[in-house]
């Protein structure tokens, strides 16, 4: 077996929290850090910025909305590294509060990227995560808030420990359908597409962690969702109370859990503390 360099990968890493996570991993991770971005120019500019700070990330293009793009990245990781040690799923979108785009379009687009595309990245890359690997899905407490604002029936479904990935996908599709038919409130959904998308990510993380326990327990891979907090980014604007560096702390903590760690796993973590939701 050839001995490969260890590798950590961050999606949506050309700016904001993703960029701060990539920077911290460049400083702390014992191996290569691959910074990915949808836009090649912006991604390369981010790499140059880190190089100017004396760091040496690699760049690879990734549009998480494009399955082929994910598969090209997977082939690169297999070829260069024989797999993947750390995956941070940070890429995501959010509409501004005052955006005039109709709510059903916002719902469709937000879930397409934040839930369905993130799920595709997990489906394609989890099989190549190596033993003692770490997977971090950047979620949000907006997801927990969305859960609280769901009907009791929906809350029960999302909290159910036997909910399958297929069940979750159907629920996410139903939300989008219900917004199109203008019945989402009547059907028990909250008015936040971003919140529902991140609720999906948090629940997906629990389901994927359970599957890792069933299929690959000996590999001791730890997979968690995390909330970076209300961070000053393009997404939130200046209303955020935290810097991007502060927002990166918990994702980086989870990405760098030591090899002998047995948890957290399948949890939602904020400020390095497991949240009950």
d(CA 271, CA 251): 9
The number of residues making up the chain comes to 277
Q: Are 91 and 137 in contact (CB under 8 A)?
A: no
Task: List helix spans (H) across 126-192.
Answer: 141-148, 152-159, 165-180
Count CA atoms within 13 Å of residue 244 on its CB side: 19
Residue-by-residue DSSP string for 2-16: PPPPPEEEESS-SSH
Residues acting as catalytic residues: 194
Going by C-alpha positions, the residue among 267, 250, 253 that lies closest to residue 204 is 267
């Amino acid at each position: 077996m050839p001995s490969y360099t260890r590798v950590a990968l961050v999606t949506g890493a050309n700016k904001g929290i993703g960029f701060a996570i990539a920077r911290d991993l460049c400083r702390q991770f014992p191996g290569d850090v691959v910074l990915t971005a949808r836009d090649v120019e912006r991604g390369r500019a981010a790499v140059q910025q880190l190089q100017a700070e004396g760091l040496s990330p690699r760049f690879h293009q990734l549009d998480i909305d494009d399955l082929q793009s994910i598969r090209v990245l997977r082939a690169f990781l297999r070829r260069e590294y024989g797999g993947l040690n750390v995956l941070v799923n940070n890429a995501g979108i959010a509409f501004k509060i005052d955006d005039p785009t109709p709510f059903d379009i916002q719902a469709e687009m937000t879930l397409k990227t934040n839930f369905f595309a993130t799920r595709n990245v997990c489906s394609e890359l989890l099989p190549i995560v190596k033993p003692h690997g770490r997977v971090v899905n950047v979620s949000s407490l907006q997801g927990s808030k969305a859960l609280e604002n769901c009907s009791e029936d929906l809350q029960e479904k999302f909290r159910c420990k036997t909910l399958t990935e297929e069940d979750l996908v159907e629920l996410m599709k139903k939300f989008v359908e219900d917004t199109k038919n203008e019945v989402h409130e009547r059907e028990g959904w909250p008015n936040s597409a971003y919140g529902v998308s991140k609720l999906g990510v948090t629940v997906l993380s629990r389901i994927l962690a359970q599957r890792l326990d069933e299929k690959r327990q000996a590999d001791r891979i730890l997979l968690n969702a995390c909330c970076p907090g209300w961070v000053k980014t393009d997404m939130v604007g200046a209303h955020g109370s935290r810097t991007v560096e502060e927002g990166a702390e918990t994702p980086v903590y989870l990405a760098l859990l030591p090899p002998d760690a047995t948890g957290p796993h399948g949890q939602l973590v904020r400020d390095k503390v497991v949240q009950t939701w």
